[in-house]
Amino acid sequence: MRRRGWWLLACGVLLAVFDTGLAVASAGPPVFPIAGFAANGLQVGGVSRLNDGGALIAASLSDDARSPRWRPVVVRLLLDGSVDLGYGTEGVSTPRIGRDTRATSLATDPQTGSTWIGVAGSHNQGAIVALNGEGFRHQRFGRHGILGLGAANAPVALARQPGQLLVASGTQPCTGCQLTLIDTSTGAVITRGALTPQALTGNARCT
């Protein structure tokens, strides 16, 4: 049976609702210090729960909090909250996609642990990184696991249903107004669309 989905953009926050769950993303995620790394910070881009009770966290790790250069990381947690050391390299997947790149969003297959991470580089250069359940790139997705979205088109939210990934990206005419539906296996574009200013009018007001 085809799964249905609904999308709602409100006050800069994209809510992507499928019958399998809810994904929420917003601009400006908080930055947390990491114990033992006083000069570093961790900026969370997204968290997804898995069917086995564990979770995947996509985040950005800074090299220096005073003049940060960010790199995306993905960590898999077990049911008891401990790091799954069998994921990636000793529990951490570090997809190398260029300097000063942040993880902005996350979508996950809760059964297999396959993951899609939205990332933003300099000039808001956008991309999607696809990882398998072991924390390594899906080589068939995009180009060796990376699908470029272009400049000024960084993803702000992702939502997945079987076989399809919805990407909300860009800054014009609003943050996340560019909508692209892609194949989760290959990264091929299924369809594109955009929210218009007229679609965003109504009684709601952001404060």
- Distance CA(19)–CA(31), nearest Å, equals 31
Instruction: Give the tens place of pLDDT for each residue, 38-58.
Output: 445 678 889 999 999 999 999
Among left, alpha and beta (phi > 0; psi -120 to 50; other), residue 90 is left
Q: What pTM was estimated for this model as a whole?
A: 0.76
Burial of 95 (C-beta count, 10 Å sphere; 0-12/13-18/19+)? buried
- Distance CA(156)–CA(35), nearest Å, equals 28
* pLDDT at 102 > cutoff 60: yes
Instruction: Give the tens place of pLDDT for each residue, 105-134.
Output: 999 999 999 999 999 988 788 999 999 999
Model pLDDT, residue 67:
60
